Chain A
């Protein structure tokens, strides 16, 4: 008999799994162990509306404590620092021991850190959780010239928010385009132009050689010997799955915790979901790790079902968004395995979408537009790709032809 379910990590995947288990089973004991002393909350606003003060802390929580109480889901603020899979036990710093029958690992991911002199460790800020967001918000109120190291989604979202707070922002990116190679260069350039139009400075193809502290401010030396003076530095240089705890165990790790399509890990009764898991996707017939809101939710729900005994394959088509200024970027499906690209539109006011096709079948798309301009077409792309549809290219490339018809029954 399985009685005790432990969910390690109280983020998005964790809470959705907990509620799904409860929906399927009213008797199991469900306990979430969370190192953050906060009920599960949404992270996307941390780099956007929370910094802009459009959303407050209380707007971020997925559910109130009443919902957890009503559903009899226990939530404990504790950091686990040792696991014993053989005896099905978790150990906390304060010597508490937790026994489980089934375990879900949903420890998320953590920010990569710059390798720097020790004396600068506390000077560079990173953004992953609410506490860090609060800190950044408080400090930037007295700063004017802020440097963001890393031109990925989170760095650029922070750059957009700080620009809207009337700060002078400089973004330094090591690659030759923003947001990484998976984003079509044309879309990366449109995003870059928007940052520049709003007064942000974007520096590409440059590496940081040295950071020096000077009278409370900083000097950043780049590899072309140019110097940037700045009074605050935030780094967003990517993230890694939070797996340190499992490094010396039998749990199979490879860019996260390796799971199959049922969220099962290499150890019986141990599941993983969300950012931390490198899961097998039966539709693409390969493993992948995603860091996205929609995935954390759906993967958590799928893990919940499987833990509760409802065997369910995870087949969700990947989807994520990034909001910068009034732009909304969306990615769906697979955008790095194609033999043809089709462009739809060329103006961000009406939306620009690049479709990625392989053997004439739509595999994915990346779009950019003002507010929700590209949302419907991206959603339709997800549905088309799910069905392996061969689509008339004329319809894809002509913005005057609606895509709705392609999915109607």
Chain B
């Protein structure tokens, strides 16, 4: 895929470890996470109801939805605990010169 698909999110120090930030691009919204082994990105909105995961809790490799505690694996997007049952979309992430990029298409 062409270079343009990589969108710059921000600098690597804009996210604390075991935490996330919200990233909006055009009409889409994402969560970008810093885990102990690197950066990851998923869709921003929970698959259960229309709630942003930015207020959720990151624990190890999991993000817990702030509304009803549905849990997703951040790396695979897999829905791990009800009421969430549909997987969350994930996106490739790369770091270049201390900047985080995600590939959206």
A345 contacts the other chain (CB 8 A) = no
Residue among A44, A328, A380 making CB contact with B83, cutoff 8 Å: A44
Contact indicator B67/A328 (Cβ below 8 Å): yes
A319 contacts the other chain (CB 8 A) = yes
B66 contacts the other chain (CB 8 A) = yes
Q: Determine, out of A126-134, A222-230, A367-375, the stretch whose residues face the partner at the interface.
A: A367-375
Given the contacts A294-B69, A379-B57, A372 and B64 also touching, CB distance less than 8 Å: no
Residue among B19, B57, B82 making CB contact with A375, cutoff 8 Å: B57
Given the contacts A375-B56, A376-B56, A62 and B66 also touching, CB distance less than 8 Å: no
Contact with B along A379-404 (1 / 0, CB 8 A): 11000000000000000000000001
Give the secondary structure class of A's interface.
mixed
Residue among B16, B19, B51, B83 making CB contact with A372, cutoff 8 Å: B51
What count of chain A residues pass the 8 Å CB interface test?
Answer: 21
A91 contacts the other chain (CB 8 A) = no
The smallest C-beta distance from A43 to any residue of chain B, in angstroms, reads: 11
Given the contacts A42-B83, A62-B82, A372 and B67 also touching, CB distance less than 8 Å: yes
Distance between Cα atoms of A321 and B69 in the complex (Å): 10
Q: In the complex, which residues of chain A have a beta carbon less than 8 angstroms from the beta carbon of B57?
A: 375-376, 379-380, 404
Contact indicator B19/A404 (Cβ below 8 Å): yes
B65 contacts the other chain (CB 8 A) = yes
A122 contacts the other chain (CB 8 A) = no
Q: In the complex, which residues of chain B have a beta carbon less than 8 angstroms from the beta carbon of A372?
A: 51-53, 55-56, 65-67
Contact indicator B69/A379 (Cβ below 8 Å): yes
The smallest C-beta distance from A114 to any residue of chain B, in angstroms, reads: 31
Q: In the complex, which residues of chain A have a beta carbon less than 8 angstroms from the beta carbon of B55?
A: 371-373, 375-376
Contact with B along A342-384 (1 / 0, CB 8 A): 0000000000000000000000000000011111100110000
Distance between Cα atoms of A373 and B55 in the complex (Å): 6
Give the secondary structure class of B's interface.
loop
Q: In the complex, which residues of chain B have a beta carbon less than 8 angstroms from the beta carbon of A373?
A: 55, 66
Q: In the complex, which residues of chain B have a beta carbon less than 8 angstroms from the beta carbon of A374?
A: 66
A293 contacts the other chain (CB 8 A) = yes
Q: In the complex, which residues of chain A have a beta carbon less than 8 angstroms from the beta carbon of B19?
A: 404
Contact indicator B82/A371 (Cβ below 8 Å): no
B18 contacts the other chain (CB 8 A) = yes
Residue among B65, B69, B83 making CB contact with A319, cutoff 8 Å: B69
Distance between Cα atoms of A134 and B72 in the complex (Å): 31
List which B58-82 residues lie within 8 A (CB) of chain A.
64-69, 82
Q: Which residue of chain B is the closest to A372 with respect to CB atoms?
A: B66
Given the contacts A293-B83, A376-B57, A408 and B67 also touching, CB distance less than 8 Å: no
List which B12-57 residues lie within 8 A (CB) of chain A.
16, 18-19, 49, 51-53, 55-57
Distance between Cα atoms of A381 and B66 in the complex (Å): 13
| 9 intermolecular pairs with C-beta atoms under 8 Å apart | A371-B55, A372-B51, A372-B53, A372-B67, A375-B55, A375-B66, A376-B55, A376-B66, A379-B66
Known pairs A319-B69, A375-B67; list 13 more (Cβ under 8 Å).
A293-B68, A371-B52, A371-B66, A371-B67, A372-B52, A372-B56, A372-B65, A372-B67, A373-B66, A375-B56, A375-B64, A376-B56, A379-B64
Chain B residues within CB distance 8 Å of chain A: 16, 18-19, 49, 51-53, 55-57, 64-69, 82-83
